Amino acid sequence: MEKPYEPSLTIQETPVGKAWLHKRTGTTEKTIAFKKFQIRRLNEILIEKFFFINGLLAILILLGIFCLLFIKGFPAFREIGWKSFFTSSVWNPNSYSIPQYGILSLITSTLMVTLGALVIAVPLGVACAAFISQVASRRVREILKPAVEILAGIPSVVVGFLGIILVNPLIAKVFGISNGLNALNGSILLAIMSLPTIISLSEDALRAVPKTYKEASLALGGNDWQTLIRVLVPSALSGIIASIMLGMGRAIGETMTVLMATGNAPALTFNFLDAIQTMTSTIAIELGEVPYNTTHYYALFVIGLVLFIMTFVVNLVSDIILQKYQQVER
Amino acid sequence: MKKRWSERIGFLMLYLAGILVLFFLGVILFDIFIKGVGVLSWNFLTQPPRMGMTEGGIFPAIMGTFMVSIITVIFAVPLGMFAAIYLNEYAIPGKITRLIRLAIRNLSGVPSIVYGLFGVVLFVQMFRFGTSVLSAGLTLGLLTLPWTITACEEALKTVPKSYREGALALGATKWHAIRTNVLPYAIPGMMTGVILGLSRAAGETAPILFTGAAFFLPHLPKSLFDQFMALPYHLYILATQHHAIEKVRPIAYGTALVLLGLILLLNLSAIWVRYRYRQKMRG
């Protein structure tokens, strides 16, 4: 049987056909391929632009938060005045005669619980990080590290709940007072909340110290403790400080635990056994009750703005420290 | 060489620090479990609260948290994934990229209550979604976005460079290479991050205080624009706002246990996914 005749080229593919096609439409094989290539390239560019816009989202949200807080908070300044806002310590927006909006006591309260939390969490956290990275055996490490992760995942409202139920009676008993819902309670809870941040980041910093440092110290006759305190910790100091700053940022912005455990009485006090009211809990308590777009409502947004700026600065500083430290490591 | 006293005491302190951290975690888990487990029953999980929340279960709160979390995921995961793809695959090191990374790190440090304020203005007032499941879900989505981005980027980073280069050398375009040779290998890692973000969102209270959580609602939300009950908010109310706090304490413990259990479950499943994924990559 003979094979039926099959042309190996279509008409357009013969040299004559190509010339004819070129004359009719002005396209050549090359230009067709080029057009296809162009379309694909356009697609690629569009796809890249699409991802780029998504990448910009983080900046947009950050700016958006700042702008909205500022816009919503601005009328409060007009109605209350900058000066009395930041220098008056009386926060009494529900007063029938003259409502007073002074956020000084709220700021000091926030700083007070944060400081208290750091006093507890920093030594404990750094010691625990040193323990995990330098001392603990593999098995102990494999228990401790997930434990820290789980601790980080515990919702703040559960920690606050335990503050009411466990820490509250404990403080009342130890100090002989009737009510244990105060700044000390808040500090203890915030310490627990910021511990995971401090531990895991400090541990990373300690682990990043080159092994040669440790070996050199041991070779010079230093014992393990001296090596840890005089070589490893100083080398990792910037990372440790950055971790502390991040933990501090968390403590400043933490809402539910302080809302539940600090007693919520706005007062300018520096006694850890007094009930206080932080910025976060003020917003949490009062925003649900005020009508939209009143002076009180605007004032709460100013508190939010101050809070935002405070955490922003703290995070930025920790970021700068971390960047510098990474550069040195390289 | 004999160990010196200072060294011994120092190391003892480190041990104590480790033990103390374990102790904190142990107390939290143990206390909630012991006092909460007695309340748990099928009825507790499937009944709405009754008699002014002094009896009955927490079913609407469980479902509310579930629904809000789904909206959070639907909103945050694609956005986070796209942003991560940009950062890891397309971005050229430079000013804008540095700025984006800075913004992401700072976003993850913004207090949750500030997200709540933002959600009130943007979703409740400007977009007119009202206090609703939708508003709360979107607010939580914004909150988890930085974590989602970071997690997705970490996952993309684990895919070897040669996978991309192989596809590119065969003439694939960049997007084609990413789609066929990078994403399939990064998806399990991304899942881990998504689940962890979800567990964060499920436990957050402050952002939903004003964007949609309801004090008490015996039925489930009928649409996206209804208010809802949520586990963490329910616990907050039972612990501080209820008129008979001592009477509802067992229910509060039960709620805390369910919330904690849910979050631990999510964390464990994230660890499991990561473990499976690592084995697969090895094999």
**Tokens read off for A172:** 């009342």
Residues of B in contact with A135 (CB under 8 A): 11, 14-15
Please answer yes or no on whether B145 and A153 come within 8 Å at the CB atom. no
The pLDDT assigned to A4 comes to 59
Q: What is the pLDDT of residues B164-205, one digit of tens each?
A: 999 989 988 888 899 988 998 898 888 888 888 888 889 998
Residue A127, chain B, CB below 8 Å: the answer is: yes
Whole-number Å distance between alpha carbons of B50 and A315: 45
**Mean pLDDT value of segment B74-81:** 93
- Which of B87, B108, B118, B126 to probe by mutation at the A interface, max A CB count within 10 Å? B118
User: Which residue, B176, B257, B224, B234, is CA-closest to B53?
Assistant: B234
Alpha carbon distance A225, B9 (integer Å)? 10
Distance CA A206, CA A185 (A): 31
Q: Which residues of A touch B125 (CB under 8 A)?
A: 292
Per DSSP bridges, beta strands A91-92 and B49-50 are unpaired
Report the pLDDT averaged over residues A188-207. 93
Helix (H, G, I), strand (E, B) or coil at B34: helix
Contact A316 B235 (CB under 8 A): no
Judge: A255–B3 Cβ closer than 8 Å, yes or no: no
Closest CA to B76 of B145, B137, B152, B135: B145
Q: A55, B86: Cβ pair inside 8 Å?
A: yes
Check whether B144 has a pLDDT greater than 90: yes
Residues of A numbered 242-271 whose beta carbons fall under 8 angstroms of chain B's beta carbons: which are they?
246, 249-250, 252-256, 259-260
pLDDT higher than 80, residue A30: no
Task: Give me the DSSP letters along A157-209.
Answer: HHHHHHIIIIIHHHHHHHHT-S---SHHHHHHHHHHHHHHHHHHHHHHHHHHS
Amino acid B282: pLDDT: 64
Q: How far apart, in Å, are the Cα atoms of A145 and each of A99, A141, A240?
A: 50, 6, 17
Residue A330: per-residue pLDDT: 42
Name the residue among A128, A223, A228 with its Cβ closest to that of B3: A223
C-alpha A112/C-alpha A105 separation (Å) is: 10
Asked if B20's CB is within 8 angstroms of A149's CB, the reply is no
Long-range contacts of B250-255 (CB under 8 A, 24+ apart): B250/B35, B250/B38, B250/B39, B251/B39, B251/B49, B251/B53, B251/B54, B251/B58, B252/A161, B253/B32, B253/B35, B253/B36, B253/B39, B254/B36, B254/B39, B254/B40, B254/B44, B254/B58, B255/B36, B255/B58, B255/B61, B255/B231
Query: What's residue A113's pLDDT?
Result: 94
Q: How far is A239 from chain B (nearest CA, A)?
A: 16
* B-chain residues near A316 (CB < 8 A): 102, 106
Which of A42, A61, A250 to probe by mutation at the B interface, max B CB count within 10 Å? A61
- Distance in Å, alpha carbon of A59 to nearest chain B alpha carbon: 5
Which of A59, A288, A311 faces B110 most closely, judged by CB atoms? A311
Tokens 């709940």 -> residue: A161
The confidence score (pLDDT) of residue B27 equals 93
Best of A158, A159, A264 to disrupt the B interface (most B CBs within 10 Å) is A158
Specify the pLDDT at position A29: 66
Quick check: B167 and B181 in contact, CB under 8 A?
yes
Flag whether residue A195 sits within 8 Å of chain B, measured between CB atoms: yes
Nearest by CB to residue B206, choosing from A140, A284, A319, is A284
Q: Which residues in chain A are contacts of B232 at CB distance < 8 A?
A: 155, 157-158, 256
Q: Which chain B residue has its CA at the smallest distance from A129's CA?
A: B18
Arithmetic mean of pLDDT, B228-243: 88
Asked if A256 and B206 come within 8 Å (Cβ–Cβ), the reply is: yes
How far B177 CA sits from the closest chain A CA (Å)?
Answer: 11
Q: Are B14 and A135 in contact (CB under 8 A)?
A: yes
Rounded to whole angstroms, the Cα distance separating A67 from A325 reads 32
pLDDT band for B281, please (50, 70, 90 cuts): low
Contact B10 A229 (CB under 8 A): yes
Mutate to test the interface with A, among B5, B173, B205 (most CBs of A within 10 A): B205
Interface of A with B in 64-93 (CB under 8 A): 64-65, 68-69, 72
Residue A43's pLDDT is what? Answer: 85
| pLDDT tens figures, A298-316 | 999 999 999 999 999 999 9
Q: Can you give the pTM of this predicted structure?
A: 0.88
What is the number of alpha carbons within 13 Å of residue A203 lying toward its C-beta?
22
Q: What is the rounded average pLDDT of the residues A9-16? A: 64
Q: Dihedral, CA atoms, B181, B184, B185, B186, nearest 10 degrees?
A: 110
Give SS3 for B76: helix
Higher pLDDT, B17 or A81: B17
Find the CB nearest B106 among A52, A288, A312. A312
Q: How confident is the model at residue A264 (pLDDT cuts 50, 70, 90)?
A: confident
**How many other CB atoms are there within 10 angstroms of residue B230's CB atom?**
33
Nearest Cα of chain A lies from the Cα of B66 at a distance, in angstroms, of: 16
- Closest-CA distance, A88 to chain B, in angstroms, reads 23
- Contact partners, residue B159, CB within 8 Å, separation at least 6: B181, B182, B185, B186
pLDDT in tens, A54-80: 889 999 999 999 999 999 988 888 888
- Mean pLDDT (chain A, rounded): 86
A19 or B85: which carries more pLDDT confidence?
B85
Short-list A314, A322, A275, CA closest to A118: A314
What is chain B's mean pLDDT, rounded?
88
> Do residues B142 and B118 make contact, with C-beta atoms less than 8 angstroms apart?
yes
Q: Sort out which chain B residues have CB atoms less than 8 A from A122's CB and list them.
A: none
Residues in chain A within 8 Å Cβ distance of B120: 287
Q: CA torsion A221→A225→A230→A231, rounded to 10°?
A: 70
pLDDT at A102: 84
CA distance B45 to chain A (A): 19
pLDDT at position A328 over 70: no
Q: How many CB pairs under 8 A join A and B?
A: 257
State the pLDDT at residue A38.
Answer: 79
Q: What angle do CA B57, A289, A60 make, to 5 degrees?
A: 95
